[in-house]
A and B are shown apart, each in its own frame.
Chain A
């Protein structure tokens, strides 16, 4: 029953993310500083082990995200697989107990995801604006931490 509830919650979170990923916030002028909502959501889901699904399922979910908002088929699939594996390795050797440690884990995983997306991006360019990319990283990490808080809250409810 708990597992079913979690899947429903996960699906609602996915739809919610799909909706907000299409909304342009008035104060944000440059698209470079818009957060990557799907990366933030899935980093939080993987790191908190909310859904407790296998690496193959995350890969399939990545392909769905690719079709909906991606540029290349397999791009988000690759990102989620790498985040899953990194998270597994981190949890193998470290214990993330305190909120600060958990936040650090999320930030580390988000950073890896953003770097892979940047490298594999079709619009990858050497004349990259580092300041704007830094802003995107900051905003994506913040969104990821918000998702983490939300998931933890839902976890307690479930």
Chain B
């Protein structure tokens, strides 16, 4: 009889948590406000990244084991075939490079003649995208390099297809990237034909957008956008995406441009993190 009375939740006689509720409601709202202004969440997360590191290790364990086995049992024939492919690729790239050397020299001469300073090179670190790609319902890109490899918050991330995003969190041996399509992402850009400096932002979905582009400026679907480099953060000339839709605004003074990025979070496994300008 006693136990059934305990199970009965109707009109329960537990002490009302109203006081605790109000106190905790105010505390959590204050904490959220404080975190939004001071960014304490980032600091706490950085200091406690060793809790998440084992989980990342466990998630990547099957992939690492299968890769180790693959390497162990790779035959000589497979390796020589791969070698041939790579040699062919090197030959193709060398031919391409010869053209680039000439273009580079022409560029230097032109820069001298119009007195533009040469752009500096950039130091970079190659990293691999690892799991997790999702964090409690939110898309994240995690790479296998962190503080130990000289990575810092804010550094840009690229690959051979184009711009990928920016580092937003750094752990000891892993980092998280904010993709260019994120709503919190903004990048200064220029058209491939070197006209119109603009600011592009992610739309939180799969695309980027320019919300107010002057209607009198010429632009067409398929135009390619690149980083302009005016922010000194991104190297100049990295491909961002191409225009896929132009929508006129209600007042006809501006157009809205929708841009499809060349590089998406699922189109690559290797990335390059730019550490900063080379000091030589």
Contacts and interface: CB of A to CB of B under 8 A. Distances in A.
Interface in A25-81: 31-32, 34-38, 54-56, 59, 62-63, 66-75, 77-78, 81
Contacts of A18: 55
B63 to A, nearest CB: 13
B73 interface: no
A121 B40 CA distance: 16
B44 A73 contact: yes
A84 interface: yes
Majority-rule SS of A interface residues: helix
Contact of B183 (A59, A81, A123): A123
Contacts of B110: none
Given A56-B20, A88-B14, A70 B41 contact: yes
B8 A95 contact: yes
Interface in B1-55: 8-12, 14, 16-18, 20-21, 24-25, 27-32, 34-36, 40-41, 44-45, 48, 51-52, 55
Contacts of B24: 55-56, 59, 77-78, 81
A59 B23 CA distance: 11
B123 to A, nearest CB: 31
A24 interface: yes
B204 interface: yes
Nearest to A20: B136
B55 A69 contact: no
B35 A73 contact: yes
A66 to B, nearest CB: 7
Contacts of B133: 24
A68 B131 contact: no
Interface in B132-177: 132-139
B193 to A, nearest CB: 31
A75 B28 CA distance: 7
B58 interface: yes
A37 B137 CA distance: 8
A130 interface: no
Given A22-B131, A73-B32, A95-B9, 14 more contacts: A54-B17, A59-B24, A72-B31, A75-B32, A77-B27, A77-B28, A78-B32, A81-B24, A81-B28, A94-B10, A95-B10, A125-B204, A129-B205, A136-B137
5 contacts: A31-B134, A31-B137, A85-B21, A95-B10, A125-B183
Interface of A: 18-19, 21-24, 31-32, 34-38, 54-56, 59, 62-63, 66-75, 77-78, 81-82, 84-85, 88, 91-96, 120, 122-123, 125, 127, 129, 136
